[in-house]
Structure 1
Amino acid sequence: MTSPSRLQRAFARHGVALQRDGAVYHVRRADRQARILLPADLPLEAKAVTQLLDFAGVGWPDRPDPVRCACATPDFHPGSLAPVGSIVATDPDVVIPAAIGTDIYCGMRLITTGLRQDELLAHEPRIVEHLTRRLLVGETDVPVPAIAFRALFERGPQDCLEALAAEGIWASADRDRLHREVAACVGLDGLGGKVEYAPDHLVAGRDRVRAPDLGTVGSGNHFVEFQTVDAVLDRRIAYSAGLRLGDVVVMIHSGSRGVGFHVGRRWMDRARHRWPAGHAHPESGLYALRGDDAAECLEAMGTAARYAWLNRVVIAEWVREALESCVGAGGSRLVVDVPHNFVSAEHGMHLHRKGSTPARAGEWALLPGSMGDASYLVEGLGHPDWLWSCSHGAGRAVRRQVIRREAKDAASSSWRCVTLREERRLQEHPSAYKPIGPVLNCQEEAGLLRAAVKLKPWLTFKA
């Protein structure tokens, strides 16, 4: 018998048994277990493993095991409650609100510009100035009547688009294109929603509503990034996506903003209050909902998810407005919009994806790297062992508090960040993230996805 490795001994001190089989870690604590896909040269963090096993053990005194499977992809790292890059599958009548948190339906949206980089370089200063005002300063004009918000939350995106008046950003928007683009949004057609779960100020009355966070990027790792097509790895997918070598695209990473916070906090509180009286609360502080409570929670999350969709639509329209104003281009189209922070009913279970992207067979997904590393358009292969999912990017390697002290070379010719706050440039320094190469290759080798198009960062906006 071989002696335990240093890593096994280290995890044993946390009460975690660990075994490695190729690129897969199997972890266990008491009666809880999970598996993690991670290249050998990337670190396995004890806090993230502990968080994953905590979620694998969520239940009630009379029903201790509603979690059927817990796993993680190579962008795996600690989160505030749930580890980022994890997927937790529960019984179909169970929802764990804290597994998603408050940034419900956060996701990525990729649009083409119809232009090449050499066509945009002469216009770059004006584009930067225009988008700085819209994305960073907050000079926005997004009139949305309460009736359109009610249509969005109650009936869905198509009805919302019909209810928008042709003013502000909507005056120049191509409505037919926006209607068509709904079909390219992964998972959007399966969402429910209800007006009663939305913040009152968005749906009351008949007048225009001021939603100051609509069309905003948000903090943390959210961004708007101009990228160039650096390599075509699958010509079939590239052709279907309308992407050619040298094309400029724009990737948008944002979520449900204030509506997500409103919904997420309310339902995490509901789950805690539903804990049966007379029983000690779980040491992890994690709670689940079941039955009617779980069904209502899903509808509330769907309400926030629809707002996340509209938020990314508005940001994309800011980009299109800038291109039209500065270049006169009108050839932009949506490639894909895909979430990575939501609960969905699949395969007779509820899949909770926390910083994890659907990678069902034939569906497209987006894997961003960092401001200094490539991003990828990929095709999912639908691997059941990894709950039909893949990573939502490279994953953070260094905490923001640490990287602020260590990132001394923030000014770099290899990557460019437009921001009004210098600390954002430091917090999101490329060295804070794992290299995208091993993260991507590991998932290709394991059969989770197929890389299709490599995208090189050109210009990143951070709020």
Structure 2
Amino acid sequence: MSHYSRMQKALGRHGVALSYENGVYHLSRADASARVLLPADLPLEEKAVEQLLAFASVRSPDGQRGVKVACATPDFHPGTIAPVGAVVATDADFVIPASVGTDIACGMRLIRTGLRLADYEQHRERIITRLRAVLLDNERNVPLSSAAFCALFDGGPLDFLDCLPREGLWQYVDVQRIARELEASVGLADIQAASRHAPEALVGGREVLRDPQLGTPGSGNHFIELQCVEKILDRHAAYAAGIALDEVVIMIHTGSRDVGFYVGGRWMDRAREAWPAGRKYPASGLYGLEGALAQEYLVAMGTAARYAWLNRVVITELIRRELKVICGKDDSSTVVEVSHNIVTQEQGMNIHRKGATPAHAGQLALIPGSMGDASFLVMGQGQQDWLCSCSHGAGRRVRRQAMRHAENVEAAYAWHCVTLREERRMEEAPQAYKPIGPVIEVQEQAGLINTVARMRPLVSFKA
């Protein structure tokens, strides 16, 4: 019996109808429906389907507001609460905090360095040693004040840049370049935030604080990776982005760290507490917020999102500083930065993306593979059928627990991972992920993206 037939039977026992046509799974049950874009040779997981339909069924207590559209990109797989790769559209005054969870505004940034592969090879050992020191071994000095954090949350990135001290890391940065690169951060200008939603430790009035989370990638699948541009697929778009063949680029994948955990946890609790007393609880255990509470959640979420932006900025500047010292020049610039765990207001709806990337027409996006597979710079095509979204990666195919006991994980791939924890190397090995080729191909065929450039990994840093 084929995987498709088995899935039809298994899901049918739970009242879910399943069909497949032209690379798209159509899912429906009495209270919800959804679509999943997935190549036929990649497995559809029952748990991920159950999670997606649970989110597709979320409604307000009176049933008048809720999810309007639910779909998933090809990196679709089960998450802790929401499935990774999910995109859910709700009414404009309704949000589901659990759809984003605690890794708020997790996203990716791509930086062109101006260095060629030969430059990297010449200084390879020193580059790896120094980046390990500043990224993983806490050899960094990033002083800030509560006033600077308040400026970030209440005013925005430009106000924050006006409050930077001229000591530690900040004495070496080009503040005007950081300001110019704000344009490369997709959606950042539209985010609202407020210091009242931030942890007291950051905004409590301290003149100097050194946040231990700031400038760190975090655990799980987060990474910082040096890559080489091995193929230009759209020379006009690559030229506009400043990407050149054989250039070394840096991909940063991280989020809002403890600030996201703080905000996300509080607001998932708030959504549950806001459910009317005496009203039957939703079978899914998932709760939405409506009206003023929904709008306040978006402000709280935006507070974590601005911190995520700052975290990626600090990582960027730490790397720039080391490469300039080692290579004697700094011709770097940010190509694009885009979050894939966030709620955005689009076309009169709230678009919830959980491990899915905005891919509006003419907008750059990033789709990494694994430590042993290619990553892609792509151009969104604004495909409305998929809520102007694309995948945020290849997607896991083997759970972390299973990878810890896998054998010969290095045999089939040439890859280099620098990490403080050996289990991280095992959990995130290339075999844990789907092959990136079919994931990219099915999205091109469906009109979600056009590919711009393909990058191969040189070395990955994981906490």
The answer to whether the 8 A contact 1:407-1:426 is kept is: no
Tell me the amino acid that sits aligned with residue 130 of structure 2: H
Give the secondary-structure state (helix, strand or coil) at the position aligned to 2:454.
Answer: strand
Which residue of 1 is the match for residue 344 of structure 2?
344
Q: Structure 2 CA distance, aligned partners of 1:159 and 1:452?
A: 34
Task: Summarize deviations over 1:404-446 as a string: whole Å, max 9, x none.
Answer: 1114333776111011211011000000000110000000000
Which residue of 1 is the match for residue 229 of structure 2?
229
Q: Which moved more, 1:433-442 or 1:410-419?
A: 410-419
Give the secondary-structure state (helix, strand or coil) at the position aligned to 1:88.
Answer: strand
Residues 47-446 of structure 1: pairs in structure 2 closer than 5 A: 47-63=47-63, 65-410=65-410, 414-446=414-446
Give the secondary-structure state (helix, strand or coil) at the position aligned to 2:131.
Answer: helix
Q: Structure 1 CA distance, aligned partners of 2:423 and 2:14?
A: 34
The answer to whether the 8 A contact 1:407-1:429 is kept is: no
Q: Structure 2 CA distance, aligned partners of 1:267 and 1:430?
A: 35
**Structure 1 residues 413 and 291, CA, compared in 2 at 3 Å: closer, same or farther?**
closer
Give the secondary-structure state (helix, strand or coil) at the position aligned to 2:405.
Answer: helix
**Structure 1 residues 409 and 57, CA, compared in 2 at 3 Å: closer, same or farther?**
closer
Q: Structure 1 CA distance, aligned partners of 2:174 and 2:314?
A: 12
Give the secondary-structure state (helix, strand or coil) at the position aligned to 2:33.
Answer: strand
Q: Structure 2 CA distance, aligned partners of 1:83 and 1:93?
A: 23
Q: Structure 1 CA distance, aligned partners of 2:419 and 2:32?
A: 43
The answer to whether the 8 A contact 1:57-1:64 is kept is: no
The answer to whether the 8 A contact 2:231-2:454 is kept is: yes
Q: Which runs of 5+ in 1 are unaligned?
A: none
The answer to whether the 8 A contact 1:410-1:426 is kept is: no
Q: Structure 1 CA distance, aligned partners of 2:108 and 2:155?
A: 23
Tell me the amino acid that sits aligned with residue 211 of structure 2: A
Q: Structure 2 CA distance, aligned partners of 1:61 and 1:189?
A: 33
Task: Summarize deviations over 1:68-124 as a string: whole Å, max 9, x none.
Answer: 000000000000000000100000000100000001000000001111111121211
Task: Summarize deviations over 1:254-311 as a string: whole Å, max 9, x none.
Answer: 0000100010000000000001101222222110000000000000000000000000
Aligned residue pairs: how many?
460
Q: Structure 2 CA distance, aligned partners of 1:287 and 1:10?
A: 27
Tell me the amino acid that sits aligned with residue 275 of structure 1: W
Q: Structure 2 CA distance, aligned partners of 1:11 and 1:63?
A: 25
Task: Summarize deviations over 1:169-204 as a string: whole Å, max 9, x none.
Answer: 111101110110011100000000001000011111
- Report sequence identity in percent: 58
Which residue of 2 is the match for residue 36 of structure 1?
36
The TM-score with structure 1 as length reference comes to 0.98
Tell me the amino acid that sits aligned with residue 234 of structure 2: D
RMSD of Structure 2 on Structure 1 (CA) = 1.2
Q: Structure 1 CA distance, aligned partners of 2:409 and 2:157?
A: 43
The answer to whether the 8 A contact 1:75-1:392 is kept is: yes
The answer to whether the 8 A contact 2:60-2:290 is kept is: no
Give the secondary-structure state (helix, strand or coil) at the position aligned to 1:269.
Answer: helix
Tell me the amino acid that sits aligned with residue 189 of structure 2: D
Give the secondary-structure state (helix, strand or coil) at the position aligned to 2:317.
Answer: helix
Q: Structure 1 CA distance, aligned partners of 2:142 and 2:60?
A: 45
Q: Structure 1 CA distance, aligned partners of 2:188 and 2:76?
A: 25
1:31 Cα deviation from its structure 2 partner:
2.2
The TM-score with structure 2 as length reference comes to 0.98
Q: Structure 1 CA distance, aligned partners of 2:205 and 2:65?
A: 45
Q: Structure 1 CA distance, aligned partners of 2:156 and 2:411?
A: 44
Q: Which runs of 5+ in 2 are unaligned?
A: none
Q: Which moved more, 1:244-253 or 1:12-21?
A: 12-21
Task: Summarize deviations over 1:352-392 as a string: whole Å, max 9, x none.
Answer: 00000000000000000000000000000001110010000
Tell me the amino acid that sits aligned with residue 136 of structure 1: L
Q: Structure 1 CA distance, aligned partners of 2:447 and 2:65?
A: 29
**Structure 1 residues 407 and 183, CA, compared in 2 at 3 Å: closer, same or farther?**
farther
Tell me the amino acid that sits aligned with residue 227 of structure 2: Q
1:14 Cα deviation from its structure 2 partner:
3.0
Q: Structure 2 CA distance, aligned partners of 1:61 and 1:115?
A: 56
Give the secondary-structure state (helix, strand or coil) at the position aligned to 2:164.
Answer: coil
The answer to whether the 8 A contact 1:362-1:379 is kept is: yes
Task: Summarize deviations over 1:302-355 as a string: whole Å, max 9, x none.
Answer: 000000000000001111111012111211111000110000100010000000
Q: Structure 1 CA distance, aligned partners of 2:140 and 2:257?
A: 16
Q: Structure 2 CA distance, aligned partners of 1:58 and 1:307?
A: 29
Q: Structure 1 CA distance, aligned partners of 2:16 and 2:170?
A: 54
The answer to whether the 8 A contact 1:410-1:425 is kept is: no
